[in-house]
Amino acid sequence: MSSDLYPVSRLAAVQEATAKAGIDALLLTPGPDLRYVTGYDAKPLERLTCLVVPAAGEPYMMVPRLELPAAQASPASRLGLEFVAWDETDDPYRIAAARLGRPGTVGLADRMWAMSSLRFRDVLPGAEQVLAGGVLRELRMRKSPAEVAALREAGEAIDAVHRQVPGLLRAGRTEREVARDIAEAILAAGHDTVDFVIVASGPNGASPHHEVSDRVIQAGEPVVVDIGGQLHNGYCSDSTRTYSVGEPPADFAAYYEVLRRAQDAACAAVRPGVPCESIDAAARDLIAEAGFGDHFIHRTGHGIGIETHEEPYIVTGNAEPMEPGFAFSVEPGIYLAGRHGARIEDIVVCGESGGERLNNTSRELVIV
Ligand code: ZN
Ligand code: ZN
Ligand code: ZN
């Protein structure tokens, strides 16, 4: 695990941001927030593991005694943290509360389970609970060069899978059969886990989050393939290409070309200082001008890092100015209910003067 990716200095930066936000302590249970701060990919379990980052004073981690060896073997051990091991008959929430005193506000990991957040409410009745994400988003959104390199590696891995897709798609196979082969290829390409495999043929392509079904792919059908996984280092890939099994319907080919130009325009609009929503508008305006505005039914993109969907969101209403290090998807789509659909998705990182695409397979309609 690269120590550049999860630098030891991050904990101090988080503590400083916590104090600045007027939060007395962050409580980070297993999930992306904990991993981001410590590098520790702790299992989410009913037994409490929780990094406590007080605005002032020493951070520590509550750990079930049986998880202690795993915590000590994890990258969190580099941080010089105290591990507060608790035994099976202890109440770790009470132990944490006793150490915390009487905080006014605590920031809970965005993905904390309700069973933990409610227990923290019980033992800290005077504390207002807010999302730790309010603090962590500012850090997580701005990818370091090491994080950009990890996302680039993830992009290359998923591109290698897309290059194999034309060999897997053919009339007569079911979506599920194709998806199974793609899932294998995602792991073989260097991912640790398969996060999702969408193989949406014909009319299923009009449902953006269709996953797979037993539908048999027919000749002459467009197929939307949206795939992603997580590398061992925690960073995620996500890329969509739309293929056609044989010659597609003429109207499909026409709107696919509109989509391709819209996706290009949005990628070209990326540069520091422009509002995130302007990237959405760059794609949406072109699609609307061509008469397909009502068929582009989702935002243009989402941030990506150690989660597939994180900030910043590329959506109308997000006026946040782009900064170097923002990494996000650009994935406009056109969906004709009952008929077919298309989406083209690349991960793009904002650089000093423009965007860099981290996915680089052909965006022309690939006819297989
Ligand atoms: Zn999606
Ligand atoms: Zn996707
Ligand atoms: Zn996506």
Report how far ligand 3's centroid is from the alpha carbon of 308 (Å): 7
The answer to whether residue 341 scores a pLDDT higher than 60 is yes
Report how far ligand 2's centroid is from the alpha carbon of 62 (Å): 36
- pLDDT band, residue 163 (cuts 50/70/90): very high
| Ion ligand 2 residues within 5 Å by Cβ | 226, 238, 240, 345
Closest-approaching ligand to the CA atom of 208 = 1
The answer to whether residue 1 scores a pLDDT higher than 70 is no
Report how far ligand 2's centroid is from the alpha carbon of 329 (Å): 8
Query: Which of helix, strand or coil describes residue 263?
Result: helix
Contact at 8 Å (CB) between 351 and 322?
Answer: no
How much is the average pLDDT of 301-322?
98
H/E stretch holding 61 reads strand 60-64
DSSP state of 3: T
- The CATH classification number of 142-367 equals 3.90.230.10
| Ion ligand 3 residues within 5 Å by Cβ | 238, 329
Alpha carbon distance 178, 176 (integer Å) = 5
Instruction: Give how far Cα 358 sits from Cα of 54, 98, 131, 203, Å.
Output: 37, 47, 30, 29
Structure confidence at residue 238 (pLDDT): 98
CATH-assigned architecture of domain 9-139:
3-Layer(aba) Sandwich (3.40)
Round the average pLDDT of the chain to a whole number and report it. Answer: 97
Instruction: Copy the structure tokens of residue 252.
Output: 């499909």
**What confidence tens digit (pLDDT) does each residue in 258-271 have?**
999 999 999 999 99
Alpha carbon distance 269, 61 (integer Å) = 43
Report how far ligand 1's centroid is from the alpha carbon of 301 (Å): 8
Closest-approaching ligand to the CA atom of 302 = 3
Task: Report the predicted TM-score, pTM, of the whole model to 2 decimal places.
Answer: 0.96
Closest-approaching ligand to the CA atom of 343 = 2
Closest-approaching ligand to the CA atom of 195 = 2
Report how far ligand 3's centroid is from the alpha carbon of 361 (Å): 16
Structure confidence at residue 2 (pLDDT): 57
Report how far ligand 3's centroid is from the alpha carbon of 249 (Å): 26
Report how far ligand 2's centroid is from the alpha carbon of 110 (Å): 22
Smallest Cα–Cα separation from 48: which of 35, 67, 32, 33?
Answer: 67
Report how far ligand 2's centroid is from the alpha carbon of 294 (Å): 20
Q: Which residues of 335-352 are buried (b: 16+ CB within 10 A; e: fewer)?
A: bbeeebbbbbbbbbbbee
Closest-approaching ligand to the CA atom of 298 = 1
- pLDDT band, residue 155 (cuts 50/70/90): very high
Instruction: Copy the structure tokens of residue 222.
Output: 């467009």
Alpha carbon distance 229, 155 (integer Å) = 10
Report how far ligand 3's centroid is from the alpha carbon of 39 (Å): 24
Structure confidence at residue 217 (pLDDT): 98
The answer to whether residue 311 scores a pLDDT higher than 70 is yes
Domain regions of the chain by residue span: 9-139, 142-367
- pLDDT band, residue 60 (cuts 50/70/90): very high
- pLDDT band, residue 362 (cuts 50/70/90): very high
